[in-house]
Amino acid sequence: MKKFWALFFFFWPAVAIWCCLIAPANGWWFPGKAMSPLGERIDGLFYLILGIVIVVFIGTQFAIGYVLWKGATKPEDESATFSHGSHSLELIWTIVPSFVLVFIALYQMDVWAEFRVQSYYPEQTQEDGPKMEVTARQFEWRIRYPSAGEQLKNQPQPGDLYAVNEIHVPTGRPVKFNLRTDDVQHAFFAPQLRVKQDAVAGLIIPVWFEIPVAGEYDLVCAELCGWGHYKMRATIVAEPQAQVDEYLARLQGEQNFDGVVEDADK
Amino acid sequence: MLVKTNRQLSILTIGVTLVSLAGCSGGSDYPDGYKSRFVYSDRTDSLMGEAQNGIGDLPGVKKLVDDRFGDPQKLNAWLKLPIDFGGVTGELAETPDASVAVEELTLSFDGEVTKDGDKPLLLQFVTGKAAPSIVFVSNWLAEGGKASLTAAMDVPPAAGDQVVVNGGGVLAHGRGLYMRHCSHCHGTSGDGKGPTAEYLVPRPRDYRHGVFKFTSTDAQSKVSRDDLYRILRNGVPGTYMPSFVPMLQEDELVAVIEYVRFLAMRGEFERKLVNELASDYSEAALQSRKESGESRKDIVEELKEFLTDDMQDSLAFVSDDLAESWDTANSEDALIVPDCSRIEDSIASRRIGRELYLSKTLNCADCHGISAKGNGPQTTIYEKNPITSELYPDPGLHDVWDNVNQPRNLTQGIYRGGRRPVDLFRRIHAGIKGSRMPSFKKVLKHEEIWHIVNYVLSVPFNAEPGHAPVAVPDEPAATAAL
């Protein structure tokens, strides 16, 4: 039985090594390719931390297994030795992890700043200003664009364009927008872009992302906001600027529709 | 320590598993498993028992409704209604030889029927002696229209019998989606009393009046499919109705719309049947008739006579009306199309609009308030319930659902039925159905409506528009127009 427990603790790091070897090829657990440059850097951090955790996990598990095995194979009649511990060992396992943590804390700083600290947002977004306002609401996303050539204001303006659950953004440039909520707390989560930001009542939170490749990306709510939480699905459509302008012009046309359709034959 | 030995550990584990399994099954509350069902309206329940449940073989309101609409587990497709039940209709081309077992039919269909691999086609007889039996087609030859059945028919059909193949698919699809996404607010029967409904202000729509507020159709018309589609696509801002795109796909939206129409028609049918009976045969009427000296036996006798002689006519009248009104709502004639384009937005136009808004004939300010904040004097009055003739407990205007009907605060820029100029035009032209917003189509010319639309759209951007005269800036601020 003693040997069983020693083997038991050897078993798990062996499983962990096996998983690490085959997981990338099978795409297990990993969130797919990030579709934004910042997302790739966030993934870089994720994999770095994952690597550190794997090394630590396997190391400590093998150490436990080794100690157990040593105890299990000792002759029964040999009495145990009593020790007050090892001062140098304690120093090592305190200082080494703290160096690792400080390293992670410093290493991630620029990515975090670019993601969250406004003054570190890409220059382009500072120049452009917010492109639209996204308002989370139980249970949908309402989008307000400024009219062509205008800057977005926090108060609705005459000529603003409104859409629901569909965001059109230009590809290949950082896009900033204002995130708000009408009611409870929601979270703007675009998994492929690695963007997740809570929408907090009373705050206007600027968020940015950049999508190099045209396509449709998911937007979901990542903060349990009520019984209809699952309904908060929307689409982020990334397309060249010209098509975004076309879309906004179409939206303008729909919004000004007065119900009178001119007969083409007339 | 809680677990001292392995033995204890294993017992504890089993114990936990058992407890959680017992928790999962939890079947004792629902001995037959949980079944959803359609409920009858309170008005149906207020009829005397015989009118609800029938006398002997004569069906009462409940059976008349159930026969036509079924229950959520087994929906009935009443083909009289303008609902797309799905499936392909057709008829029996030849009367099969009744002397031998009928195992093959010759059919002609209105559309193309394709068979999906080994899956048998579901063929239902709609008219004739064989109706409403369902048979399964194991083999289908489109050429010649030969259908081999999986089993012989009990009752032989005759040529000309109407059939439908794979019918009801749309409705069943819609039911599944509705139960998952809509019923928790709008209720299984569409009565707006789902479990989450009581937490919402405004309350979710009760479909059973057959009335929907935000439509593109004429004042007397029902809601069209396009209107329901627009609501599902855009949601209703200012209420808890969210947008269901992109969560639902196009075919799913269509299915949900048909099911909502089905529920609305069911409710309206029930309501109208009750109207035929309520004045003479409600519990209250029974009470007062007894007080004036009639005996219960006589009243039941009279009801029996009514159910025997007059009910057929009433049914025909109610169902014809129902089918026609829901059908015409989708026609082009029902759609409100302004006879002139929107008058260009300008200060002058807004002024005309504001004058109309404040005028005695329209009296918009009576409800919406002079400053358009939805606080007119009508919001403080006590109204009588038109059915019970008692005062409502809360002040303010009430809609047909007996909810307080707050006139819209136009300064907020939230437009429940849509913010396009044509949406506002239709609100004024047809009114808001079921609410106290009346139709102004008889008193206003279309261009006058456009002036009001221009004024209303400018309201959120002017401080206190009703108090000071509209300021004339050098450049007019554009509203929704470019």
The pLDDT value given to residue B11:
42
Q: Answer yes or no: do B210 and B323 share one domain.
A: yes
Number of domains comprising chain A? 2
CB-based contact A138:A183 (threshold 8 Å)? yes
Contact B401, B393 (CB under 8 A): no
At B218, the pLDDT band (50, 70, 90 cuts) reads very high
Question: Are A136 and A248 contained in the same domain?
Answer: yes
Last residue of a domain, one of B309, B334, B359: B334
pLDDT tens sequence across A69-95: 988 888 888 888 888 888 999 999 999
| Domain region containing B239 | 188-334
Residues B317 and B390 in one domain: no
pLDDT at B29 over 80: no
Flag whether A7 is in a domain: yes
Number of domains in chain B: 3
Angle B310-B313-B315 from CA coordinates, rounded to 5°: 105
- In whole angstroms, what is the distance from residue B370 CA to residue B466 CA? 5
Residue A55 placed within a domain: yes
Same domain, A100 and A163: no
To the nearest 10°, the Cα dihedral for A91, A97, A102, A103? 120
**Residues A64, A141: one domain?**
no
Higher pLDDT, B145 or A88: A88
> Does one domain contain both A112 and A132?
no
Residues in chain A: 266
Asked if residue B193 and residue B157 are part of one domain, the reply reads no
Radius of gyration of chain B from its Cα atoms, rounded to whole angstroms? 29
Backbone torsions φ then ψ of A86, nearest 5 degrees:
-120, 120
CA nearest to A217, candidates A200, A235, A244, A199: A235
Q: What is the mean pLDDT of residues B80-98?
A: 84
- The residues pairing with B71 across neighbouring beta strands, listed in sequence order, are B74
Q: What is the DSSP string of B355-403?
A: HHHHSTTT-THHHH-TTSSS--GGGGS--B-TTT--B-SS-S-B-TTSS
- Regarding whether A228 and A185 lie in a shared domain, the answer is yes
**What span, in angstroms and rounded, lies between the C-alpha atoms of B351 and B409?**
19
C-alpha span between A148 and B478 (Å, rounded)? 13
Strand, coil or helix: what is A155?
Answer: coil
- Residues B259-293 pLDDT 10s: 999 999 999 999 999 999 998 899 989 999 999 98
Q: Which strands sit side by side in the sheet containing A205-209, from one edge to the other?
A: A161-164, A140-145, A133-137, A175-181, A205-209
B415 to chain A: nearest residue by CA? A162
B469 burial class (0-12, 13-18, 19+ CB within 10 angstroms)? exposed
Question: How far B204 CA sits from the closest chain A CA (Å)?
Answer: 14
For residues B466 and B364, give the distance between their C-alpha atoms in angstroms, rounded to a whole number: 12
- On whether the CB atoms of residues A181 and A201 are closer than 8 A, the answer is yes
* CA pair distance A179, A208, nearest whole angstrom: 10
Q: What b-and-e string marks burial along B196-223, b requiring 16 or more CB atoms within 10 Å of the CB?
A: ebeeeebbbbbbbbbbbbbbbbbbebbb
In angstroms, rounded to a whole number, what is the distance separating the alpha carbons of residues A66 and A48? 27
E strand or H helix at B253 = helix B250-281
Q: Measured on CA atoms in the order B287, B289, B291, B296, is the torsion positive or negative?
A: negative
Tell me what the pLDDT averaged over chain A comes to: 91
Beta bridge partners of B123: B135, B165
Within-domain flag for B10:
no
Domain annotation covers residue A66: yes
The share of chain A scoring above pLDDT 70, in percent, equals: 98
For the record, the structure tokens of A23 come out as 């997981």
At residue B479 the predicted structure's pLDDT band, cuts being 50, 70 and 90, is low
CA A44 to chain CA centroid, Å, is 12
Quick one: average pLDDT of B384-401?
88
Nearest-CA distance A69 → chain B (Å): 20
| A43 in any annotated domain | yes
Span of A21-35, A175-189, B210-224 with lowest mean pLDDT: A21-35
Same domain flag for B353 and B437:
yes
A256 touches chain B (CB under 8 A): yes
Separation between Cα atoms, residue B186 and residue B236, nearest integer Å: 14
Judge whether residue B2 has pLDDT over 90: no
- Angstrom distances, CA of residue A133 to CA of A174, B105, B134: 15, 63, 55
| Domain identity same for A105 and A153 | no
Query: For residue B136, is it within any domain?
Result: yes
Is A186 inside a domain boundary? Answer: yes
- Give the whole-number percent of chain B exceeding pLDDT 70: 89
A110 domain residue, yes or no: yes
Residue A263: per-residue pLDDT: 61
Does B325 lie in the same domain as B231? yes
pLDDT one-digit tens code per residue, B299-336 = 999 999 999 998 889 999 999 999 999 999 999 999 99
CATH number at residue A161: 2.60.40.420
For the beta carbon of residue B345, count every other beta carbon within 10 angstroms: 25
Judgement on whether residues B294 and B362 belong to the same structural domain of the protein: no
Contact B477 A165 (CB under 8 A): no
Q: In A, residues 127-156, which contact B (CB 8 Å cutoff)?
A: 137-140, 142, 147-148, 156
Residues A165 and A187 in one domain: yes
The pLDDT of residue B4: 45
Whether B451 contacts B353, CB under 8 Å: yes
Q: What span, in angstroms and rounded, lies between the C-alpha atoms of A47 and A41?
A: 10
3-state SS assignment for residue A102? helix
Asked if A248 and A148 count as a contact pair (C-beta separation under 8 A), the reply is yes
Of the three residues B103, B135, B167, the one that is the final residue of a domain is B167
What is the mean pLDDT of the segment spanning A197-213? 96
How far the first Cα of chain A sits from its last, in Å, is 94
Tell me, what's the pLDDT at B20? 42
In a shared domain, residues A99 and A49: yes
pLDDT tens-digit readout, A207-246? 999 999 999 999 999 999 988 899 999 999 999 999 999 9
Rounded to an integer, what distance in angstroms lies between the CA atom of residue B327 and that of residue B55?
A: 33
Q: In the predicted model, is pLDDT for residue A8 greater than 50?
A: yes
For the segment A29-42, the average pLDDT, to the nearest whole number, is: 89
Alpha-carbon distance of B440 to B449, in angstroms, equals 9
Same domain? For B391 and B294 the reply is no
- Cβ count within 10 A of residue A142: 21
Residue B143 is predicted with a pLDDT of: 81
Q: Which of A138, A183, A258 best probes binding to B when mutated, by most B CB atoms within 10 angstroms?
A: A258
Residue in A140, A157, A258 nearest the CB of B243: A140
A193 and A230 both lie in a single domain = yes
Q: What is the mean pLDDT of residues B131-152?
A: 82
Q: Residue B130: inside a domain, yes or no?
A: yes
C-beta atoms of B421 and A235 within 8 A: no
Q: What is the largest CA-CA distance in chain A?
A: 109
Whether A256 and B421 lie within 8 Å, measured CB to CB: yes
Residues in chain B: 482
Q: Do residues A157 and A179 share a domain?
A: yes
B202 cis-preceded (ω within 30 degrees of 0): yes
pLDDT at B253: 96
- Cα angle vertex B191, ends B188, B197, to 5°? 85
Q: Please provide residue B404's backbone torsions phi and psi, each rounded to the nearest 5 degrees.
A: -65, 130
A98 and A154 inside one domain: no
A159 touches B: beta carbon within 8 Å: yes
Q: Do the beta carbons of residue A17 and residue A58 sit within 8 Å?
A: yes
B418: region left, alpha or beta (phi > 0 left; psi from -120 to 50 alpha): left
Report the C-alpha gap between A217 and B129 in whole angstroms. Answer: 56
What are the CB-based long-range contacts (under 8 Å, 24+) for A57-60?
A: A57/A13, A57/A16, A58/A13, A58/A16, A58/A17
Is residue B147 very low, low, confident or very high in pLDDT (cuts 50, 70, 90)? confident
Residue A210: CB atoms within 10 Å = 22
- Of B467 and B116, the structure prediction assigns the larger pLDDT to B116
The CATH number linked to B443 is 1.10.760.10
Instruction: Give which of B174, B149, B175, B176 is closest to B163, Cα–Cα.
Output: B149
B225 and B329 within one domain: yes
Residue B246: which of A158, A233, A259 has the nearest Cβ?
Answer: A233
Are residues B154 and B290 located together in one domain of the fold?
A: no
pLDDT of residue B21: 43
Q: Is the Cβ pair B482, A252 closer than 8 Å?
A: yes
Q: Which residue has the higher pLDDT, A219 or B126?
A: A219
**Structural domain that includes position A226:** 128-255
Q: What are phi and psi of B381, to 5 degrees?
A: -80, 160
User: Tens digits of per-residue pLDDT, A86-142?
Assistant: 899 999 999 999 999 999 999 999 999 999 999 999 999 999 999 999 999 999 999
What's the mean pLDDT in B132-142?
Answer: 82
> Measured between alpha carbons, how far is B446 from B269 in angstroms, rounded to an integer?
35
- Of A232-241, B133-142, B249-258, the one with minimum mean pLDDT is B133-142
Please report whether residue B457 resides in a domain: yes
**pLDDT score of B385:** 87
Residues B198 and B317 in one domain: yes
| Shared domain check, B203 and B260 | yes
Q: Which helix (H) or strand (E) segment is A51 a member of?
A: helix A37-73
**A76: in domain:** no
Above 50 in pLDDT, residue A27?
yes
- In this complex, do A231 and B237 lie within 8 Å of one another by their Cβ atoms? no
Looking at the DSSP bridge assignments, the partners of residue A218 are: A235
B328: in domain: yes
- Tell me if A207 sits within 8 A of A115, measured CB to CB: no
Cβ contact A165–B243 (<8 Å): yes
Average pLDDT, chain B: 85
Q: Is the ipTM of this complex over 0.90?
A: no
Interface test with A, best of B243, B423, B461 (most A CBs within 10 A): B243
Q: Residue B32 has what pLDDT?
A: 56
Region B167-174: mean pLDDT is: 87
pLDDT at B6 over 50: no
A165 contact residues in B (CB cutoff 8 A): 243, 245-246
Sequence-ordered list of residues with C-beta below 8 angstroms from that of B349, at least 6 positions apart, any chain: B343, B450, B451, B454, B455
SS3 content of chain B, % helix, strand, coil (to 5): 40, 10, 50
- Residues B247, B361 share a domain: no
Alpha helices in B70-190 (DSSP H): 169-181, 183-186
pLDDT at position B428 is: 96
* Eight-class DSSP state of B322: H
CATH of residue B159:
2.40.30
Res B24 pLDDT > 50: no
More confident position, B17 or A79: A79
Residues A140 and A245 occupy one common structural domain: yes
